[in-house]
Amino acid sequence: MGILSLLLWTPALGVLFLAFTPKQHTQLIRLISVLFAALAFLLSCWVLSLYEPANASLQFNEYFPLNPDLGSAYALGVDGLSMPMLVLATLLTFIALLVSFTISEGIKGYHICMLVLEFGMLGVFLAQDWALFYIFWEVTLIPLFFLIDRWGGQRRHSASLNFVLYTMGGSIFMLLSLLAVSQYDLEQGGSLMTSMNQTAQNMPLTEQILVLLGFLIGFGVKMPIFPLHGWLPLAHVEAPSPVSILLSGILLKMGAYGLLRAVVMLPEAAQVLQPFLLFLALFGMIYGGLLAWRQSDLKAMVAYSSISHMGLVLLGIASLTEVGMSGAVLQMTAHGLIAGAMFLLVGLLYERTHTRNIQDYRSLIQVMPRFALFMSLTLLAAMGLPGTVGFIAEFQILIGGFQQWGGWMVFFSISLLISAAYSIRTIGLLFTGHSSPAMQRIEDLKPREMLAASLLVVSIVGFGLLPTPLIDLSTSTLKHINISIKQRFL
């Protein structure tokens, strides 16, 4: 078994252990889940240590034919696009399980669903075959439905149903696009993803545009892109906070990752649709920021801010430039860390106060200084403050966008100002003013919670001050992609 298979099947092995663990042994169930999540994270770090950033080709390839007639295979591999997502997925899953000790009902089912979700997410980022990719994509829907519907808030049934209907609807368009490409004679002896990339070059331009639109809808639902975002605010608000960490930190990135792969496969269609993608990106950035600014519910604010930040990712992808796409990949990682930290901290605050209304809080810095430090740094990172990883990502996207569209980037600046406005407002309302008597006895972060928050905040600041290792992970792959795109236009 290769190292990638070992990583992929580690959460599945954890599910097997949990299946044979009596449900009354709750502490053992929690321990097994955290241990297997930690093992997956360590394995992803091992892969990262062996990964060669200067090598643009797929690494650690594993290939076993499944259907020779179709050309599908159990094909795994990593490159500069998937490597950061792989480590991010295992890190956030470990953190989510680390802070899941407040789950008191259906503990066994909850932890099984979390590990199945990690299995699906890892499969999406590791798969180098479109058929395998689609299978893992659909696998993530099942545990997420139960995690929201069973352990969510008061409107959990509506939230879970909306999520599944939106995502399954988008998956239909994705499947139609895959079938449209696969109807051509695919080359044998390679993975279906490679064959489709080669076949797409010979498709008529009109058909390429229709296929890319199908991918845009399929992946755009998960990102989410306006107006396909209807499921997101309700799902984020009603999902348990550990699930929201994964939903915002990783599940949204799956959509961006898939769209980036599709744009690389169909660059001519992407160039035709470039003005449309620019409009969706800029509108989503401003629209999401304005809605986040209006929210009094802290989770809803973070949810709508995700629409704005994922608009940045779409802008970087739509630029079709090396620096823009590099910024998009970096923003995917940055937003995963920032949104994960925000949902983690908001969830820990809610567990202590049972309210998410920002108007109910005042002067928390007096009773929760550690929480105040972590939350302030995270909110400052969300607005793209220099010295945080969010600034590096946004700066690269700005450069890529300016190279392509020039003055249109004034709308980019407006979205950043809106982001700064609601971030500063939140810091002011949470940590200044007269202290409320009801908030005088709130407990500050515990050691386990400190560990989870520290992992994210230290990464946010660390990669902001020293971004080169993170940027270098994707540089060679993006250079290779940029060269291939330019050759297609010649």
Between CA 358 and CA 61 the distance in angstroms is 49
Contact (CB, 8 A) for 412 and 405: no
Query: ω into residue 240 within 30 of 0, thus cis?
Result: no
Provide the token pair at 349: 């605050």
Between CA 256 and CA 84 the distance in angstroms is 13
pLDDT at 39: 96
Tens-digit pLDDT profile for residues 87-106: 999 999 999 999 888 888 88
Q: Is the dihedral of CA 42, 44, 48, 52 positive or negative?
A: positive
Contact (CB, 8 A) for 252 and 224: yes
Between CA 132 and CA 124 the distance in angstroms is 8
pTM above 0.85, yes or no: yes
Between CA 276 and CA 327 the distance in angstroms is 20
Q: How far is residue 145 from each of residues 10, 15, 91, measured CA to CA in Å?
A: 22, 17, 22
Tens-digit pLDDT profile for residues 377-392: 999 998 888 989 989 9
Q: Which residues contact 463 (CB under 8 A, 6 or more apart)?
A: 333, 334, 337, 389, 392, 469, 470
Tens-digit pLDDT profile for residues 396-444: 998 888 888 888 888 888 888 998 888 898 898 888 877 667 677 788 8
pLDDT above 80 (res 456): yes
pLDDT at 454: 93
Read off the DSSP letter of residue 186.
P
Band of pLDDT at residue 190, cut at 50, 70 and 90: very low
pLDDT at 16: 94
Between CA 456 and CA 171 the distance in angstroms is 31
Tens-digit pLDDT profile for residues 126-182: 998 888 889 999 999 999 999 998 888 888 888 888 888 898 888 899 888 888 877
pLDDT at 47: 94
Q: Which residues contact 305 (CB under 8 A, 6 or more apart)?
A: 288, 289, 292, 339, 382, 419, 422
pLDDT above 60 (res 4): yes
Contact (CB, 8 A) for 298 and 252: no
H or E segment at 404? helix 389-405
pLDDT above 50 (res 216): yes
Band of pLDDT at residue 112, cut at 50, 70 and 90: very high
Between CA 451 and CA 160 the distance in angstroms is 30
Nearest-Å Rg of the Cα atoms of the chain is: 22
Provide the token pair at 407: 């003055």
pLDDT at 131: 82
Tens-digit pLDDT profile for residues 335-347: 999 999 999 999 8
Between CA 33 and CA 369 the distance in angstroms is 31
Between CA 95 and CA 209 the distance in angstroms is 40
Read off the DSSP letter of residue 52.
-
Contact (CB, 8 A) for 247 and 235: yes
Name the CA dihedral angle for 258, 272, 210, 215, rounded to a multiple of 10 degrees: 10
The mean per-residue pLDDT over the stretch 253-274 comes to 89
pLDDT at 192: 59
Between CA 301 and CA 272 the distance in angstroms is 34
Between CA 221 and CA 397 the distance in angstroms is 22
Between CA 11 and CA 40 the distance in angstroms is 7
Kindly report the number of other CB atoms within 10 A of residue 347's CB atom.
Answer: 23
- Please tell me the least confidently modeled range out of 198-212, 311-325, 456-470: 198-212
Band of pLDDT at residue 233, cut at 50, 70 and 90: confident
For residue 51, which amino acid is it?
Answer: Y
H or E segment at 373? helix 369-382
3-state SS class at 69: coil
The mean per-residue pLDDT over the stretch 259-271 comes to 87
Contact (CB, 8 A) for 299 and 343: yes
pLDDT at 152: 83
Q: What is the DSSP string of 319-334?
A: T-SHHHHHHHHHHHHH
Q: Which residue has the tokens 């993803």?
A: 193
3-state SS class at 137: helix
pLDDT at 189: 45
Q: Is the dihedral of CA 323, 329, 331, 334 positive or negative?
A: negative
